[in-house]
Each structure stands twice: as C-alpha cells, then as structure tokens.
Amino acid sequence: MIANGILAVVAVVALIWAWIDNTKPGLIHMNKLGVVTGKSLDDIIEIIGPSNSQSSNINNSTIHQWIIPGVHLVLLFDSNNICLGITHQFVAYRG
C-alpha cells in the first residue's frame, strides 16, 4: 500500500518536471539551439520559446532577448527574421 503511494508521488513529480521542462526555456533548451546564425526566429522560438523583449535596430534589423534564471541571450535578426548572430550571452554557473 505504501509502495503504491510512493510510486504515485514519483509519477506525479515526473509529470510535473516534464511539464516544467517543456514550458519554460532553460539551459537545457538553450543547449538544443546549436549554431544560431542562419536560423529563423520561428525555428529558435520553437526550441526556446518566445523572447522576453525585442527592439528595432539599424537596417530594419531586430534584437530579441531571452532572460531566464541564470541565462541571458541576445540575438540579432535581419529584416527577414534570420539570425545574424549572438550579440550577448551570459550563463551563471553555480560551483
């Protein structure tokens, strides 16, 4: 009886963890990006979720920022929403 309860709790925790992993971008998702130059904004959003902010830049380009606990990523996109590269990245590691 107790073993069944423990298994049920473990199953619920696993489901919650899977849900959190799939709904919040994090370092795991950032690692899935690979090389970002040449990828479309839609492709990047599909992997790490929508950006927290965006702003216009020169030559009809845009800058998109992803800010999550321990990670700050800023990417530059051309007028066709193709990534031109990383303008800033920061990852905090706990030792």
**pLDDT tens digits for range 32-60:** 888 999 999 999 999 888 999 999 988 89
CATH for the 25-91 domain, from 3.40.50.150, 3.50.50.60, 3.40.50.10310, 3.30.1450.10:
3.30.1450.10
CA 57 to CA 71: how far, in whole Å?
Answer: 22
Tell me: pLDDT of 19 over 90: no
Which one is predicted more confidently, 66 or 28?
A: 66
Please enumerate, as own/partner, the contacts of 89-92 that have beta carbons within 8 Å and a separation of 24 or more.
91/27, 91/30
3 vs 20: CA distance, rounded Å: 26
DSSP assignment of 18-51 equals: HHHHHHS--HHHHHT----TT-BHHHHHHHH---
Percent of the chain whose predicted confidence (pLDDT) is above 90: 41
For residue 27, what pLDDT is reported? 59
- The model carries a pTM of 0.68
